[in-house]
C-alpha cells in the first residue's frame, strides 16, 4: 500500500474493476468478505464524504466516492466499510474506497491501493485515533528493495520537532513553517518572508517544492558547492544537474531545512541528489504553498503528533 499524508480516503482495487493497474496480489473481492458493507447514499458517512468534496453521487443506492490528486490522477469507486486487521488488532467498520476505476496513478504491481493519512474524517489516522491515540509515524526507505514502517500510536519523544499548522479549509493537510535553508553548514540569504505561504508535509508527493526565490538561491549555492562536477542538461522538472561519469564516489554539500522553533533537519544524501540532479523544484511563485515531499523524508522516522500539535523528524530510522 502507498501511504499519503496529503489525502484522507484509503482505497484498494476491488473486483470488478474496469480500469485498474496490474498488481501482484489478487484484487479484493467484496463478495468474499462477510463483514464488507457498502455505504448507502443516505448514510452519515456518505453525507460527510460529500461535505468534504469527495462524494461522487450514487450507483443504485450505494455511495460513490472520487478522489482527485494534485497531479491530475484520480480514483473512483464505492465507499464502503469492512474490518481492518492491523497485526493482532482489528478495526471494525473501517471506512475505505473500493476502487473500480483509476487514471494517472503511478503505482507499481506491488501496490494494491493507498492509505490516506491526512487529518480529515476519513483517514486511517483519524479513524483509529480512539484506539491508538492521536499520533502516528512512518519511515520511508531509501531504496525500493529496503523496508520502512508505519506505526499508529507512535511514541513522541526523541524527535526534532516543529509546530504543526492546521487549516479548517483543508483539514487533510499537516502544515509546517519552513524558515531557512543551509548548504554546507551556511545559512542561505533568503528573507524569511519568502516562506510566509507555509508548506505541507506530503508523503504522496515525490519532490519538495520551494518558493521560487528560495529555490533559486538554493540552486546557486548548491552549484557553487559542486564545481568539481561538470553541469548536465536538465532532466524533467530538475534544472540543477551534474555529470558524474567516471566518478566512483560523489561528495555532496550538506543541505539542512530549518523549521519554526529552531528545528534543524539535516537531509540524508538520498534526499539531496536524485537522478544526478538536485532533488528540489521551484513553485510558480513565492505565494504558492510549499510541499515537503517524500524524497526529502526518506530514512527519517516522520512523526505526526496530532494531539500535541507537532511534526517530528528522527534521522536514520530505516
What percent of the residues of the chain are helix, what percent strand, and what percent coil, each to the nearest 5? 15, 40, 45
23 burial (CB, 10 Å; 0-12 / 13-18 / 19+) is middle
Indicate if the pLDDT at residue 193 is higher than 80.
yes
On whether the CB atoms of residues 81 and 96 are closer than 8 A, the answer is yes
**What pLDDT shows up at residue 248?**
86
Report the pLDDT averaged over residues 48-75: 91
**What pLDDT shows up at residue 233?**
96
| Dihedral angle sign, alpha carbons of residues 114, 120, 121, 126 | positive
**What pLDDT shows up at residue 168?**
80
Of 4, 314, 2, nearest to 159 by C-alpha is: 314
Mean pLDDT of the chain: 93
Distance CA(9)–CA(170), nearest Å, equals 14
Q: What is the pLDDT of residues 247-278, one digit of tens each?
A: 889 999 999 999 999 999 999 998 999 999 99
Distance CA(131)–CA(145), nearest Å, equals 32
**What pLDDT shows up at residue 155?**
86
Neighbouring CB atoms inside 10 A of 175's CB total: 18
Q: What is the pLDDT of residues 201-228, one digit of tens each?
A: 999 999 999 999 999 999 999 999 999 9
pTM for the full model? 0.93
Q: Which residue has cell 455505504?
A: 39
- Active-site residues: which are they? 4, 202
CA atoms within a 13 Å half-sphere pointing along the CA-CB vector of 273: 15
Using DSSP, state whether 11 is helix, strand or coil.
strand
Q: Residues of the chain with pLDDT > 90: what percent?
A: 79
CA atoms within a 13 Å half-sphere pointing along the CA-CB vector of 214: 34
Using DSSP, state whether 280 is helix, strand or coil.
strand
Distance CA(60)–CA(40), nearest Å, equals 9
As a CATH number, domain 2-132 is 2.40.70.10
Extended beta strands in 69-207, E state: 74-86, 89-103, 113-116, 135-139, 149-152, 160-163, 175-176, 178-183, 186-187, 199-201
Q: Which residue has cell 497531479?
A: 71
Q: What is the pLDDT of residues 106-161, one digit of tens each?
A: 666 677 899 999 999 999 999 999 999 999 999 999 887 788 999 999 888 999 99
**What pLDDT shows up at residue 13?**
93
Distance CA(78)–CA(100), nearest Å, equals 8
Q: Where in the chain is the domain with CATH 2.40.70.10?
A: 2-132, 160-314
**What pLDDT shows up at residue 111?**
78
Report the pLDDT averaged over residues 280-308: 96
Reply yes or no: is the peptide bond before residue 295 cis, omega within 30 of 0: no
Task: Give the CATH class of 160-314.
Answer: mainly beta
**What pLDDT shows up at residue 106?**
61
Alpha carbon 18 to chain centroid distance?
27
Tell me the DSSP string of 234-256.
-BTTB--EE--TT-SS-----EE
The Cα angle at residue 207 between residues 206 and 212, in degrees rounded to 5:
150
Looking at per-residue pLDDT, the higher value among 292 and 88 belongs to 292
Amino acid at each position: 500500500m502507498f501511504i499519503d499524508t496529503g489525502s484522507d480516503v484509503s482505497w484498494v482495487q476491488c473486483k470488478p474493476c474496469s480500469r485498474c493497474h496490474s498488481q501482484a496480489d489478487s484484487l479484493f473481492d467484496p463478495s468474499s468478505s462477510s463483514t464488507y458493507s457498502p455505504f448507502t447514499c443516505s448514510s452519515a458517512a456518505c453525507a460527510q464524504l460529500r461535505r468534504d468534496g469527495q462524494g461522487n453521487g450514487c450507483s443504485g443506492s450505494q455511495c460513490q466516492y472520487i478522489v482527485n490528486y494534485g497531479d491530475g490522477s484520480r480514483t473512483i469507486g464505492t465507499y464502503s466499510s469492512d474490518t481492518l486487521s492491523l497485526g493482532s488488532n482489528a478495526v471494525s467498520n473501517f471506512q475505505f474506497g473500493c476502487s473500480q476505476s483509476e487514471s494517472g496513478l503511478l503505482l507499481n504491481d506491488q501496490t494494491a491501493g493507498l492509505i490516506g493519512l491526512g487529518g480529515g474524517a476519513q483517514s486511517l489516522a483519524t479513524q483509529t485515533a480512539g484506539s491508538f491515540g492521536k499520533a502516528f509515524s512512518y519511515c520511508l526507505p531509501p531504496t525500493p528493495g529496503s523496508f520502512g514502517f508505519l506505526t499508529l500510536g507512535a511514541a513522541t519523544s526523541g524527535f526534532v520537532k516543529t509546530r504543526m499548522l492546521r487549516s479548517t479549509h483543508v483539514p487533510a493537510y499537516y502544515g509546517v513553517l519552513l524558515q531557512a535553508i543551509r548548504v554546507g553548514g551556511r545559512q542561505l540569504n533568503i528573507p524569511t518572508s519568502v516562506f510566509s505561504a507555509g508548506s505541507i508535509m506530503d508523503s504522496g508527493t515525490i519532490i519538495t517544492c520551494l518558493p521560487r526565490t528560495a529555490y533559486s538561491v538554493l540552486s546557486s549555492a548548491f552549484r557553487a558547492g559542486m564545481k568539481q562536477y561538470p553541469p548536465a542538461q536538465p532532466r524533467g522538472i530538475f534544472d540543477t544537474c551534474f555529470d558524474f561519469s567516471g566518478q566512483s564516489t560523489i561528495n555532496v554539500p550538506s543541505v539542512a531545512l530549518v523549521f519554526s522553533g529552531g528545528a534543524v533537519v539535516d537531509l540524508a544524501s538520498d534526499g539531496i541528489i536524485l537522478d544526478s540532479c538536485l532533488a528540489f523544484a521551484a513553485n510558480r511563485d513565492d505565494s504558492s504553498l510549499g510541499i515537503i515531499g517524500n524524497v526529502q523524508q526518506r530514512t527519517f522516522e516522520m512523526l505526526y503528533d496530532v494531539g500535541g500539535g507537532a511534526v517530528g523528524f528522527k534521522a536514520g530510522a530505516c
